Structure 1
């Protein structure tokens, strides 16, 4: 039986417990024995050599140098790493080694007009499109999924060319923001790190977004695809 490690915690706004609980049954029916922990320091343990898949939902927070090194080494040796939204793309901001591993870091998201803002998370809930690329047509994570619309946080991420991008999203340039032209950045990508596979799905701010059929399908598929 394959071994899956679910690492959850950090900022509570992304409901890490409820969000990961949604996917544990899928892991179990896919043949994984699931272990759940609430600290990234598990990555510093020798037992990582037995882990076939890491599902990480840990927004912000900190991880020690030893933990980040343990995760990097585990992935390089074949452990898969998957996650969504801030649970993987906005984790451990103090670690450049972690950012290099996952290949993308949350920078911002566009907001409504200032007159429409109320000072809560909904200020950033805007309609946007996840545009599936030709590379996604036959990929095991995204095959058969067409471009789709969401109304939620739209992640602007800083990324690099090692990513294999499966979907993008284009950020608007309204006059109340300082950027002066639209910006297209990855919304879903995979990444090869040594012998290991990584998959990042940037939608997933709230449980209703994770329930969207296309979002949930990509996340569930990514777990099987990335596993050792």
Structure 2
């Protein structure tokens, strides 16, 4: 039996401190471009409410947050959503959230291990064609320890910047960029986001119920 997913995207983004209000506003502007109807983008500033929002079978979930404490059932609900055919896009400090939660680290595909100061650095793809050419960005360069076999799409030197993987019937994408104002208005980053959005949306219309 198939349940038709809604066309909605749930964005969990407090938009206060790391990530701040200006990068969050830029992200919202970009995400609205991906929807025919702006009301299909549901923005919650309280990530703890996500499990309740998942009951409405959104097509996609976007995490843009930095939280170390969430209800114990939060990760389980998100993991179940993806396993049943949902699509998850995690951005920047989402990977630095819930440190020590191995279930969450497995779901994202990598565990945050640190970052240097804000600086300019070069990003290039790994031969996947996600970007036409290397680009330079002003941001925090995150370091990660990968926890799953993932497809690394972008790197800076040898550090993964963007990757994708599958979990059950669903898909997960992660992009480490997003600390500084201007990142989500950068043409190359917008192109990467469009690529990820298309990949995540390819299976976002329906899921198989157990």
Q: TM-score range by the shorter chain?
A: 0.7 to 0.9
TM-score with structure 1 length normalisation?
A: 0.76
Alignment of 1:172-211 (within 5 A): 184-211=158-185
Cα deviation code 1:21-53 (max 9, x no counterpart): 222322323887121112222333374351110
**Distance (whole Å) between structure 1 residues aligned to residue 69 and residue 85 of structure 2:** 24
Cα deviation code 1:177-198 (max 9, x no counterpart): xxxxxxx221110010111111
Q: Give the one of 106, 109, 132 matched to 1:103.
A: 109
**Distance (whole Å) between structure 2 residues aligned to residue 107 and residue 69 of structure 1:** 23
Does residue 163 (structure 1) correspond to residue 150 (structure 2)? The answer is: yes
- Over 3 Å counting, the alpha-carbon distance change for 1:48 and 1:220 in structure 2 is farther
- Over 3 Å counting, the alpha-carbon distance change for 1:31 and 1:2 in structure 2 is farther
TM-score with structure 2 length normalisation?
A: 0.82
Does residue 147 (structure 1) correspond to residue 134 (structure 2)? The answer is: yes
Aligned residue in 1 for 2:118: 125
- Give how far 1:11 is off: 6.0
- Give how far 1:130 is off: 1.0
- Give how far 1:226 is off: 0.8
More relative contact order, 1 or 2 (CA 8 Å, 6+ apart)? 2
Local SS of the residue matching 1:13: coil
**Does structure 2 conserve the Cα–Cα contact (< 8 Å) formed by 1:130 and 1:147?**
yes
Larger radius of gyration: 1
- Over 3 Å counting, the alpha-carbon distance change for 1:66 and 1:19 in structure 2 is farther
Local SS of the residue matching 1:199: strand
CA-based RMSD: 2.3
Aligned residue in 1 for 2:73: 66
Q: Unmatched 5+ residue regions in structure 2?
A: 1-5, 205-210
- Over 3 Å counting, the alpha-carbon distance change for 1:46 and 1:208 in structure 2 is closer
Divergent runs of 4+, >4 A? none
Alignment of 1:49-60 (within 5 A): 50-60=57-67
202-211 or 19-28, which deviates more: 19-28
212-221 or 64-73, which deviates more: 212-221
- Give how far 1:15 is off: 1.7
- Give how far 1:131 is off: 2.2
Aligned residue in 1 for 2:33: 26
Cα deviation code 1:67-92 (max 9, x no counterpart): 11000000111110113211x22222
